[in-house]
Structure 1
């Protein structure tokens, strides 16, 4: 990591714009092999989506900050499961994005550690997340961090392209 220290903190409303930018950059770089990059880059930023997540009482939102620039390097949002059949001690990692400029530098690991600590501190015993099957880089990261596919599959359509999402789970 070359001496870089990433700080993770709870997200604040003023982080919403930077979170929207991280989402767009990570999506355009990470999904271009199966979704049209020009359409991903042309999508409007939606800071209101992230502001709503930050202010919702049931969610926990974290940002990873690069102290050398005070810029948001990544963010994560976890929440109680949306599946009514899920156990109440489960958590869903709903959003987890790192700016491509920070891929491979340890930012994702530091952010994931903070998220899992938060889940455990609130009594969660299992966590799940959904990721696109063609999302090879994040899937490899999740596997390195101990997440395993649990057999859950669903279909998702974005930018007119339909693909399969896989559910990963981690015992906390």
Structure 2
């Protein structure tokens, strides 16, 4: 992990496998805020899942680091069945104690920068219908409902699409 205790500057860096436990803890704390009855219990080992995401060669996991602590995370890759110009944002979380401090905007900007470098034109994500705070954040960042993926009956997610702005490098 990058140690920024001296500067106090928010840094965005690529996650390493040794950070999987810290990332999984932040993920669960953030998710627990929008499930009315708490995060659904399941047999998912989130630490192992995050380690797997970090180690994937076709994925990116970015961390926002402030004063030596991970305060935000984003995970994205090309989704199965999608074209090479589309990326899916699978996870995007900011430590609940740090909401509305600019971390999410900085982390989102880093994602967009990487998508442009990777020649992506569009990004997609699904967001839980009860997560109104995240929906408002994504709307402020320019995400719109995805007309190609309307929610199915009983689905608990909204599907959003983002057009990566500007010229794609190398064109």
Q: Deviations over 1:71-98 (max 9, x none)?
A: 110100110022x1x3221111111111
Runs of 5+ consecutive residues of structure 2 not aligned to the other structure = 1-6, 165-171
* TM alignment of 1:5-154, pairs within 5 A: 5-29=9-33, 31-33=34-36, 36-37=37-38, 46-67=46-67, 70-82=68-80, 84=81, 86-151=82-147, 152-154=149-151
CA contact (8 A) 2:58 2:77 kept: yes
Q: Normalising by structure 2, report the TM-score.
A: 0.83
Structure 1 counterpart of 2:167: none
Superposition misfits of 4+ residues, deviation over 4 angstroms = 39-45
Residue segments in structure 1 that go unaligned for 5+ positions in a row? 157-161
Residue in structure 2 matched with residue 159 of structure 1 by the alignment: none
Q: 1:44 to 1:59 in 2, by over 3 A?
A: closer
SS state at 2:108 partner: helix
Relative to the length of structure 1, the TM-score reads 0.83
- Aligned counterparts of 1:136 and 1:27: Cα–Cα separation in 2: 12
Distance 1:115 1:108 in 2: 10
Q: Displacement, 1:7? A: 0.9
CA RMSD between the two structures: 2.3
Which has the larger helix fraction? Answer: 1
SS for the counterpart of 1:60 is: strand
- Once the two structures are superposed, residues 111-158 of structure 1 have per-residue CA deviations (whole angstroms, 9 ceiling, x without a partner) of 1010110011010011111101221000000000011111323469xx
Judging changes above 3 Å, is the alpha-carbon distance between structure 1 residues 44 and 168 closer, same or farther for their aligned structure 2 residues?
Answer: closer
Q: In 2, Cα distance between the equivalents of 1:14 and 1:57?
A: 16
- Separation (CA, whole Å) in 1 of partners of 2:44 and 2:97: 21
